[in-house]
Structure 1
Amino acid sequence: MPDSLGKILKRIRESKHLSIEEVSERSRIPRNIISTIEEDRLNEIKSGFYAKSFVKTYASFLGAVDEPGVKAYLSAGGQPAKPISDAYTRKAGAPQIGFSAVTKHRKQIAAVIMSIFALWVLFAAIVWAGKVIKKKAIPKKTEIRKSADIVKETKKEVFDLKYDSVELEVFASDNTLLQVTADKEIIFKGVLKKGSKETWKAKKEIKLEAGNSGAIKININGKPAGFSGKKGEKKEITVTKDGIKN
Protein backbone atom coordinates (compact mmCIF):
# COMPACT_ATOMS: atom_id res chain seq x y z
CA MET A 1 0.00 0.00 0.00
CA PRO A 2 1.42 3.45 -0.90
CA ASP A 3 2.98 5.44 1.94
CA SER A 4 1.73 8.86 3.03
CA LEU A 5 4.01 11.76 3.98
CA GLY A 6 3.69 10.97 7.70
CA LYS A 7 4.46 7.28 7.21
CA ILE A 8 7.54 8.11 5.12
CA LEU A 9 9.01 10.31 7.84
CA LYS A 10 8.06 7.88 10.61
CA ARG A 11 9.68 4.98 8.74
CA ILE A 12 12.91 6.92 8.26
CA ARG A 13 12.96 7.99 11.91
CA GLU A 14 12.47 4.42 13.11
CA SER A 15 15.12 3.14 10.71
CA LYS A 16 17.56 5.49 12.45
CA HIS A 17 16.46 4.09 15.84
CA LEU A 18 15.32 7.51 17.07
CA SER A 19 12.41 8.06 19.45
CA ILE A 20 10.07 11.03 19.15
CA GLU A 21 11.51 12.40 22.40
CA GLU A 22 15.08 12.24 21.03
CA VAL A 23 14.07 13.96 17.79
CA SER A 24 12.18 16.66 19.71
CA GLU A 25 15.14 17.35 21.99
CA ARG A 26 17.70 17.52 19.17
CA SER A 27 15.60 19.32 16.54
CA ARG A 28 13.64 21.63 18.91
CA ILE A 29 10.38 20.50 17.27
CA PRO A 30 7.60 19.99 19.88
CA ARG A 31 6.69 16.32 20.40
CA ASN A 32 3.01 16.92 19.64
CA ILE A 33 3.95 18.49 16.28
CA ILE A 34 6.09 15.43 15.36
CA SER A 35 3.17 13.12 16.22
CA THR A 36 0.81 15.33 14.19
CA ILE A 37 3.10 15.08 11.14
CA GLU A 38 3.63 11.31 11.41
CA GLU A 39 -0.08 10.67 11.88
CA ASP A 40 -0.91 12.76 8.78
CA ARG A 41 -2.91 15.31 10.78
CA LEU A 42 -1.35 18.43 9.24
CA ASN A 43 -4.82 19.87 8.75
CA GLU A 44 -4.92 20.38 12.54
CA ILE A 45 -2.15 22.97 12.22
CA LYS A 46 -4.18 26.08 11.35
CA SER A 47 -1.37 27.88 9.53
CA GLY A 48 -0.09 26.30 6.31
CA PHE A 49 3.08 28.36 6.71
CA TYR A 50 3.89 26.68 10.03
CA ALA A 51 2.86 23.22 8.81
CA LYS A 52 5.24 23.44 5.87
CA SER A 53 8.02 24.87 8.07
CA PHE A 54 7.71 22.03 10.60
CA VAL A 55 7.71 19.37 7.85
CA LYS A 56 10.78 20.94 6.19
CA THR A 57 12.65 21.15 9.52
CA TYR A 58 11.74 17.55 10.44
CA ALA A 59 12.67 16.20 6.99
CA SER A 60 15.98 18.09 7.04
CA PHE A 61 16.81 16.65 10.46
CA LEU A 62 16.13 13.11 9.19
CA GLY A 63 17.97 13.76 5.90
CA ALA A 64 14.74 13.02 4.02
CA VAL A 65 14.26 16.26 2.04
CA ASP A 66 15.05 14.45 -1.23
CA GLU A 67 12.50 11.67 -0.61
CA PRO A 68 9.97 11.90 -3.51
CA GLY A 69 6.96 12.11 -1.19
CA VAL A 70 8.56 14.83 0.95
CA LYS A 71 9.88 16.78 -2.04
CA ALA A 72 6.43 16.68 -3.67
CA TYR A 73 4.80 18.06 -0.51
CA LEU A 74 7.30 20.92 -0.13
CA SER A 75 7.25 21.86 -3.81
CA ALA A 76 3.44 21.88 -3.78
CA GLY A 77 3.49 24.77 -1.32
CA GLY A 78 2.47 22.69 1.69
CA GLN A 79 -0.33 20.71 -0.02
CA PRO A 80 -0.56 17.02 0.92
CA ALA A 81 1.79 15.02 -1.26
CA LYS A 82 0.64 12.03 -3.32
CA PRO A 83 1.71 8.70 -1.77
CA ILE A 84 4.76 7.11 -3.31
CA SER A 85 4.47 3.75 -5.02
CA ASP A 86 5.11 0.35 -3.43
CA ALA A 87 7.98 -0.11 -5.88
CA TYR A 88 9.82 2.86 -4.43
CA THR A 89 9.10 1.68 -0.86
CA ARG A 90 10.69 -1.70 -1.62
CA LYS A 91 13.63 -0.03 -3.37
CA ALA A 92 14.30 2.47 -0.57
CA GLY A 93 14.61 -0.11 2.19
CA ALA A 94 16.70 0.67 5.26
CA PRO A 95 19.43 3.34 4.96
CA GLN A 96 23.03 2.17 4.55
CA ILE A 97 25.31 2.60 7.52
CA GLY A 98 28.98 3.46 7.62
CA PHE A 99 31.51 4.65 5.05
CA SER A 100 29.64 3.14 2.09
CA ALA A 101 26.59 5.27 2.90
CA VAL A 102 28.74 8.40 3.13
CA THR A 103 30.32 7.60 -0.25
CA LYS A 104 26.96 6.96 -1.86
CA HIS A 105 25.50 10.24 -0.65
CA ARG A 106 28.62 12.38 -0.84
CA LYS A 107 26.98 14.84 -3.25
CA GLN A 108 24.04 15.40 -0.90
CA ILE A 109 26.40 15.73 2.08
CA ALA A 110 28.56 18.23 0.19
CA ALA A 111 25.46 20.22 -0.75
CA VAL A 112 24.33 20.34 2.88
CA ILE A 113 27.78 21.47 4.04
CA MET A 114 27.88 24.19 1.37
CA SER A 115 24.38 25.35 2.36
CA ILE A 116 25.37 25.59 6.02
CA PHE A 117 28.52 27.52 5.10
CA ALA A 118 26.53 29.91 2.89
CA LEU A 119 24.04 30.54 5.69
CA TRP A 120 26.89 31.19 8.11
CA VAL A 121 28.45 33.73 5.72
CA LEU A 122 25.06 35.41 5.21
CA PHE A 123 24.46 35.59 8.97
CA ALA A 124 27.92 37.07 9.56
CA ALA A 125 27.28 39.68 6.86
CA ILE A 126 23.92 40.63 8.41
CA VAL A 127 25.48 40.97 11.87
CA TRP A 128 28.32 43.11 10.50
CA ALA A 129 25.90 45.31 8.54
CA GLY A 130 23.73 45.69 11.63
CA LYS A 131 26.70 46.87 13.69
CA VAL A 132 27.69 49.41 11.04
CA ILE A 133 24.14 50.75 10.77
CA LYS A 134 23.79 50.90 14.54
CA LYS A 135 27.09 52.76 14.88
CA LYS A 136 25.94 55.38 12.36
CA ALA A 137 22.41 55.67 13.75
CA ILE A 138 23.19 56.11 17.48
CA PRO A 139 24.50 59.61 18.43
CA LYS A 140 27.92 60.02 20.06
CA LYS A 141 28.08 60.22 23.86
CA THR A 142 29.12 63.87 23.69
CA GLU A 143 25.85 64.83 21.98
CA ILE A 144 22.97 65.98 24.20
CA ARG A 145 19.88 63.78 24.10
CA LYS A 146 16.79 65.81 24.81
CA SER A 147 14.54 62.87 25.73
CA ALA A 148 14.51 59.09 26.17
CA ASP A 149 12.02 58.82 23.30
CA ILE A 150 14.71 59.81 20.78
CA VAL A 151 16.94 56.95 21.92
CA LYS A 152 14.08 54.46 21.82
CA GLU A 153 13.08 55.55 18.31
CA THR A 154 16.68 55.18 17.03
CA LYS A 155 17.03 51.70 18.50
CA LYS A 156 13.70 50.69 17.03
CA GLU A 157 14.75 51.73 13.53
CA VAL A 158 17.99 49.72 13.75
CA PHE A 159 16.06 46.75 15.15
CA ASP A 160 13.55 46.75 12.29
CA LEU A 161 16.23 46.90 9.62
CA LYS A 162 17.69 43.66 10.89
CA TYR A 163 14.55 41.62 11.61
CA ASP A 164 11.24 41.11 9.82
CA SER A 165 9.98 38.58 12.37
CA VAL A 166 10.24 37.96 16.11
CA GLU A 167 12.50 35.45 17.89
CA LEU A 168 11.99 34.75 21.59
CA GLU A 169 14.57 33.04 23.81
CA VAL A 170 13.48 31.88 27.26
CA PHE A 171 15.91 30.92 30.05
CA ALA A 172 14.61 29.04 33.11
CA SER A 173 16.38 29.33 36.48
CA ASP A 174 13.75 27.04 38.00
CA ASN A 175 10.95 24.74 36.81
CA THR A 176 7.92 26.58 35.43
CA LEU A 177 4.72 25.83 33.56
CA LEU A 178 4.84 27.51 30.18
CA GLN A 179 2.56 28.02 27.20
CA VAL A 180 3.85 29.62 24.01
CA THR A 181 1.51 30.80 21.24
CA ALA A 182 3.03 31.96 17.93
CA ASP A 183 0.71 33.96 15.69
CA LYS A 184 -2.31 32.51 17.58
CA GLU A 185 -1.00 28.91 17.20
CA ILE A 186 0.05 27.03 20.38
CA ILE A 187 3.53 25.60 19.73
CA PHE A 188 4.57 24.68 23.26
CA LYS A 189 2.66 23.75 26.40
CA GLY A 190 4.32 22.04 29.34
CA VAL A 191 7.06 22.35 31.95
CA LEU A 192 10.26 24.21 31.12
CA LYS A 193 12.84 22.62 33.39
CA LYS A 194 15.43 24.39 35.51
CA GLY A 195 18.51 25.34 33.47
CA SER A 196 16.69 24.95 30.14
CA LYS A 197 16.80 27.39 27.24
CA GLU A 198 14.27 27.35 24.40
CA THR A 199 13.87 29.48 21.29
CA TRP A 200 10.68 30.14 19.33
CA LYS A 201 9.97 32.24 16.21
CA ALA A 202 6.89 33.89 14.72
CA LYS A 203 6.09 36.21 11.82
CA LYS A 204 4.15 38.77 13.91
CA GLU A 205 3.89 38.04 17.63
CA ILE A 206 4.47 35.48 20.38
CA LYS A 207 2.30 35.21 23.47
CA LEU A 208 4.05 33.83 26.57
CA GLU A 209 2.19 32.54 29.63
CA ALA A 210 4.42 31.57 32.59
CA GLY A 211 3.21 29.96 35.82
CA ASN A 212 6.42 30.90 37.65
CA SER A 213 7.38 34.21 36.04
CA GLY A 214 10.12 34.90 38.59
CA ALA A 215 12.08 31.92 37.25
CA ILE A 216 12.51 33.07 33.63
CA LYS A 217 14.44 35.64 31.67
CA ILE A 218 13.87 36.45 28.00
CA ASN A 219 15.70 37.79 24.97
CA ILE A 220 13.87 39.31 22.01
CA ASN A 221 15.72 38.96 18.69
CA GLY A 222 18.94 38.31 20.59
CA LYS A 223 18.62 41.24 23.01
CA PRO A 224 17.70 41.06 26.73
CA ALA A 225 14.16 42.27 27.43
CA GLY A 226 12.85 43.94 30.57
CA PHE A 227 10.68 41.09 31.85
CA SER A 228 10.25 40.68 35.60
CA GLY A 229 8.02 38.61 37.83
CA LYS A 230 7.85 37.08 41.27
CA LYS A 231 8.47 33.47 42.20
CA GLY A 232 5.26 31.50 41.76
CA GLU A 233 3.52 34.44 40.07
CA LYS A 234 1.55 33.77 36.87
CA LYS A 235 2.22 36.31 34.16
CA GLU A 236 1.27 36.76 30.48
CA ILE A 237 3.01 38.94 27.91
CA THR A 238 2.83 39.46 24.16
CA VAL A 239 6.09 39.95 22.27
CA THR A 240 6.65 41.51 18.83
CA LYS A 241 9.82 42.51 16.98
CA ASP A 242 9.45 45.92 18.63
CA GLY A 243 9.48 44.48 22.15
CA ILE A 244 6.91 43.65 24.83
CA LYS A 245 3.42 44.98 24.06
CA ASN A 246 2.01 44.80 27.56
Structure 2
Amino acid sequence: MGIGETLAEGRKQAGLTITEVSLRTRVRESVIRGIERDDFAPCGGDFYARGHIRTIARVVGVDPEPLVRAFDDAHGGAPQPSSATGGPWETDRPLVPFRERRSPNWSAAMAMAFAALVVVAGVQFFGGRGGQHAARQVAEKPAQAAASPHQQQPRRAGDPVAAAPRKNVELRLKARRATWVNVRGDKGRTLFSGTLRSGTVREWKAKKKISILIGNGGGVRLTVNGKDLGTPGQSGNVVHLDFTPSDPEAA
Protein backbone atom coordinates (compact mmCIF):
# COMPACT_ATOMS: atom_id res chain seq x y z
CA MET A 1 0.00 0.00 0.00
CA GLY A 2 1.48 3.36 -1.05
CA ILE A 3 1.84 6.53 1.02
CA GLY A 4 -1.23 8.22 -0.38
CA GLU A 5 -3.38 5.11 -0.14
CA THR A 6 -2.31 4.58 3.50
CA LEU A 7 -3.20 8.16 4.45
CA ALA A 8 -6.51 8.00 2.62
CA GLU A 9 -7.44 4.74 4.33
CA GLY A 10 -6.47 6.19 7.75
CA ARG A 11 -8.59 9.28 7.07
CA LYS A 12 -11.62 7.17 6.21
CA GLN A 13 -11.21 4.97 9.29
CA ALA A 14 -11.01 8.12 11.44
CA GLY A 15 -14.28 9.30 9.91
CA LEU A 16 -12.76 12.50 8.51
CA THR A 17 -13.30 14.28 5.21
CA ILE A 18 -10.54 15.99 3.26
CA THR A 19 -12.02 19.33 4.32
CA GLU A 20 -11.85 18.37 8.00
CA VAL A 21 -8.24 17.22 7.66
CA SER A 22 -7.41 20.51 5.92
CA LEU A 23 -8.93 22.54 8.76
CA ARG A 24 -6.98 20.62 11.40
CA THR A 25 -3.65 20.55 9.59
CA ARG A 26 -3.88 23.91 7.74
CA VAL A 27 -2.77 22.08 4.63
CA ARG A 28 -4.70 23.02 1.45
CA GLU A 29 -7.29 20.52 0.26
CA SER A 30 -5.67 20.40 -3.18
CA VAL A 31 -2.36 19.37 -1.59
CA ILE A 32 -4.07 16.65 0.50
CA ARG A 33 -5.84 15.26 -2.58
CA GLY A 34 -2.53 15.21 -4.46
CA ILE A 35 -0.74 13.38 -1.62
CA GLU A 36 -3.51 10.75 -1.46
CA ARG A 37 -2.80 10.16 -5.19
CA ASP A 38 0.98 9.98 -4.44
CA ASP A 39 1.39 13.28 -6.30
CA PHE A 40 3.75 15.41 -4.16
CA ALA A 41 4.36 18.20 -6.70
CA PRO A 42 1.79 20.58 -5.08
CA CYS A 43 3.78 20.36 -1.80
CA GLY A 44 6.45 22.71 -3.17
CA GLY A 45 9.45 20.44 -2.59
CA ASP A 46 10.59 17.33 -0.68
CA PHE A 47 11.17 19.28 2.54
CA TYR A 48 7.55 20.45 2.71
CA ALA A 49 6.24 17.08 1.48
CA ARG A 50 7.81 15.32 4.46
CA GLY A 51 6.21 17.83 6.81
CA HIS A 52 2.77 17.46 5.22
CA ILE A 53 3.01 13.65 5.43
CA ARG A 54 3.85 13.81 9.16
CA THR A 55 1.09 16.31 9.95
CA ILE A 56 -1.65 14.49 8.04
CA ALA A 57 -0.60 11.08 9.42
CA ARG A 58 -0.87 12.30 13.01
CA VAL A 59 -4.32 13.77 12.50
CA VAL A 60 -5.72 10.60 10.88
CA GLY A 61 -4.05 8.32 13.47
CA VAL A 62 -1.33 6.75 11.30
CA ASP A 63 2.33 6.30 12.34
CA PRO A 64 4.16 8.90 10.17
CA GLU A 65 7.72 7.51 10.35
CA PRO A 66 7.29 4.49 7.99
CA LEU A 67 5.60 6.80 5.46
CA VAL A 68 8.42 9.37 5.64
CA ARG A 69 11.02 6.61 5.16
CA ALA A 70 9.11 5.33 2.15
CA PHE A 71 9.04 8.86 0.74
CA ASP A 72 12.80 9.24 1.25
CA ASP A 73 13.47 5.88 -0.44
CA ALA A 74 11.46 6.99 -3.44
CA HIS A 75 12.92 10.52 -3.64
CA GLY A 76 16.63 10.17 -3.10
CA GLY A 77 16.96 9.71 0.67
CA ALA A 78 16.56 11.89 3.73
CA PRO A 79 18.09 15.41 3.83
CA GLN A 80 21.38 16.10 5.64
CA PRO A 81 21.06 16.97 9.33
CA SER A 82 20.55 20.66 10.02
CA SER A 83 20.90 22.79 13.14
CA ALA A 84 17.36 24.12 12.63
CA THR A 85 14.56 22.28 14.38
CA GLY A 86 10.79 22.29 14.12
CA GLY A 87 8.77 23.68 11.19
CA PRO A 88 5.49 25.29 10.29
CA TRP A 89 3.64 22.00 10.66
CA GLU A 90 4.99 21.15 14.11
CA THR A 91 2.55 21.98 16.89
CA ASP A 92 4.05 19.90 19.73
CA ARG A 93 5.23 21.97 22.66
CA PRO A 94 5.48 21.18 26.34
CA LEU A 95 2.51 22.61 28.26
CA VAL A 96 3.25 21.29 31.73
CA PRO A 97 5.99 23.14 33.67
CA PHE A 98 8.48 20.93 35.48
CA ARG A 99 10.38 22.34 38.46
CA GLU A 100 14.15 21.90 38.70
CA ARG A 101 15.21 19.43 41.37
CA ARG A 102 17.92 20.78 43.68
CA SER A 103 20.17 18.51 45.72
CA PRO A 104 21.46 19.44 49.21
CA ASN A 105 24.70 21.48 49.27
CA TRP A 106 26.86 18.69 50.69
CA SER A 107 30.08 20.40 49.57
CA ALA A 108 29.54 23.34 51.93
CA ALA A 109 28.62 21.01 54.81
CA MET A 110 31.75 18.91 54.28
CA ALA A 111 33.92 22.04 54.12
CA MET A 112 32.55 23.29 57.46
CA ALA A 113 33.09 19.91 59.12
CA PHE A 114 36.65 19.76 57.76
CA ALA A 115 37.36 23.25 59.17
CA ALA A 116 36.12 22.11 62.58
CA LEU A 117 38.46 19.12 62.51
CA VAL A 118 41.40 21.40 61.65
CA VAL A 119 40.62 23.57 64.69
CA VAL A 120 40.47 20.52 66.98
CA ALA A 121 43.75 19.15 65.65
CA GLY A 122 45.48 22.52 66.11
CA VAL A 123 44.33 22.94 69.69
CA GLN A 124 45.35 19.39 70.60
CA PHE A 125 48.78 19.85 69.01
CA PHE A 126 49.64 23.21 70.60
CA GLY A 127 47.61 23.26 73.79
CA GLY A 128 47.79 19.66 74.95
CA ARG A 129 45.07 18.21 77.06
CA GLY A 130 44.17 21.57 78.57
CA GLY A 131 42.83 22.84 75.26
CA GLN A 132 40.84 19.76 74.30
CA HIS A 133 37.66 20.88 76.07
CA ALA A 134 37.68 24.32 74.41
CA ALA A 135 38.40 22.71 71.02
CA ARG A 136 35.39 20.46 71.38
CA GLN A 137 33.18 23.47 72.10
CA VAL A 138 34.48 25.26 68.95
CA ALA A 139 33.99 22.13 66.82
CA GLU A 140 30.45 21.39 67.99
CA LYS A 141 28.89 24.58 66.58
CA PRO A 142 30.12 24.18 62.92
CA ALA A 143 29.34 20.47 63.06
CA GLN A 144 25.79 21.19 64.20
CA ALA A 145 25.38 23.80 61.44
CA ALA A 146 26.55 21.25 58.87
CA ALA A 147 24.16 18.56 60.08
CA SER A 148 21.17 17.63 57.97
CA PRO A 149 17.82 19.27 58.95
CA HIS A 150 16.42 15.76 59.19
CA GLN A 151 18.99 14.92 61.90
CA GLN A 152 18.21 18.06 63.90
CA GLN A 153 14.46 17.64 63.68
CA PRO A 154 13.37 13.96 63.74
CA ARG A 155 10.08 13.26 62.01
CA ARG A 156 7.14 13.28 64.41
CA ALA A 157 3.95 11.27 64.17
CA GLY A 158 1.54 12.94 61.77
CA ASP A 159 4.28 14.57 59.64
CA PRO A 160 3.66 14.24 55.85
CA VAL A 161 5.37 11.29 54.16
CA ALA A 162 6.56 11.34 50.54
CA ALA A 163 4.03 9.67 48.24
CA ALA A 164 5.01 6.40 46.55
CA PRO A 165 5.79 6.59 42.81
CA ARG A 166 2.78 6.11 40.56
CA LYS A 167 2.51 2.79 38.73
CA ASN A 168 0.18 4.07 35.98
CA VAL A 169 -0.59 7.22 34.00
CA GLU A 170 -4.22 8.36 34.09
CA LEU A 171 -5.76 10.86 31.66
CA ARG A 172 -9.20 12.45 31.97
CA LEU A 173 -10.64 14.59 29.15
CA LYS A 174 -13.77 16.75 29.16
CA ALA A 175 -14.93 18.07 25.78
CA ARG A 176 -15.96 21.74 25.98
CA ARG A 177 -16.87 21.69 22.29
CA ALA A 178 -17.18 18.93 19.69
CA THR A 179 -13.58 17.84 19.16
CA TRP A 180 -11.74 15.05 17.34
CA VAL A 181 -9.15 13.18 19.44
CA ASN A 182 -6.83 10.20 19.00
CA VAL A 183 -5.50 8.50 22.15
CA ARG A 184 -2.75 5.87 22.19
CA GLY A 185 -1.39 3.85 25.11
CA ASP A 186 1.63 1.61 25.66
CA LYS A 187 3.40 0.44 22.47
CA GLY A 188 1.20 2.77 20.40
CA ARG A 189 -2.01 0.78 21.05
CA THR A 190 -5.06 2.84 20.08
CA LEU A 191 -7.29 3.55 23.10
CA PHE A 192 -9.71 5.87 21.30
CA SER A 193 -10.06 7.65 17.96
CA GLY A 194 -13.05 9.74 16.99
CA THR A 195 -15.05 12.89 17.65
CA LEU A 196 -16.32 13.67 21.17
CA ARG A 197 -19.46 15.74 21.60
CA SER A 198 -19.56 18.81 23.85
CA GLY A 199 -19.87 17.83 27.51
CA THR A 200 -18.49 14.31 26.99
CA VAL A 201 -16.05 13.06 29.67
CA ARG A 202 -13.65 10.18 28.92
CA GLU A 203 -10.89 8.57 30.99
CA TRP A 204 -7.93 6.37 29.96
CA LYS A 205 -5.16 4.56 31.83
CA ALA A 206 -1.81 3.05 30.76
CA LYS A 207 1.25 1.69 32.55
CA LYS A 208 4.03 3.73 30.92
CA LYS A 209 2.74 6.34 28.48
CA ILE A 210 -0.37 7.94 26.99
CA SER A 211 -0.15 10.00 23.79
CA ILE A 212 -3.06 12.21 22.71
CA LEU A 213 -3.62 14.11 19.48
CA ILE A 214 -6.31 16.81 19.78
CA GLY A 215 -7.84 18.37 16.68
CA ASN A 216 -8.96 21.48 18.59
CA GLY A 217 -6.65 22.31 21.53
CA GLY A 218 -9.04 24.94 22.87
CA GLY A 219 -12.04 22.61 22.90
CA VAL A 220 -11.02 20.27 25.76
CA ARG A 221 -9.93 20.32 29.40
CA LEU A 222 -7.34 17.78 30.61
CA THR A 223 -6.63 16.23 34.00
CA VAL A 224 -3.43 14.14 34.28
CA ASN A 225 -2.76 11.93 37.31
CA GLY A 226 -5.30 13.96 39.28
CA LYS A 227 -3.78 17.34 38.29
CA ASP A 228 -6.06 19.73 36.40
CA LEU A 229 -4.02 21.11 33.46
CA GLY A 230 -6.84 23.18 31.99
CA THR A 231 -7.10 23.83 28.25
CA PRO A 232 -3.93 22.64 26.44
CA GLY A 233 -4.11 24.96 23.42
CA GLN A 234 -5.95 27.64 21.51
CA SER A 235 -9.15 27.17 19.58
CA GLY A 236 -8.54 25.53 16.19
CA ASN A 237 -4.95 24.43 16.96
CA VAL A 238 -3.88 20.79 16.62
CA VAL A 239 -2.05 19.69 19.81
CA HIS A 240 0.02 16.52 20.39
CA LEU A 241 0.93 15.62 24.00
CA ASP A 242 2.67 12.71 25.77
CA PHE A 243 2.21 11.87 29.47
CA THR A 244 3.96 9.38 31.83
CA PRO A 245 3.23 8.34 35.45
CA SER A 246 5.56 11.12 36.72
CA ASP A 247 3.69 13.93 34.86
CA PRO A 248 3.05 16.52 36.04
CA GLU A 249 5.59 16.65 38.89
CA ALA A 250 3.19 18.43 41.24
CA ALA A 251 0.44 15.78 40.83
Higher RCO, 1 vs 2 (CA within 8 Å, ≥6 residues apart): 2
Structure with the higher fraction of residues in helix conformation: 1
**TM-score range normalised by the length of the shorter chain:** 0.3 to 0.5
TM-score in terms of structure 1 length:
0.34
TM-score in terms of structure 2 length:
0.34
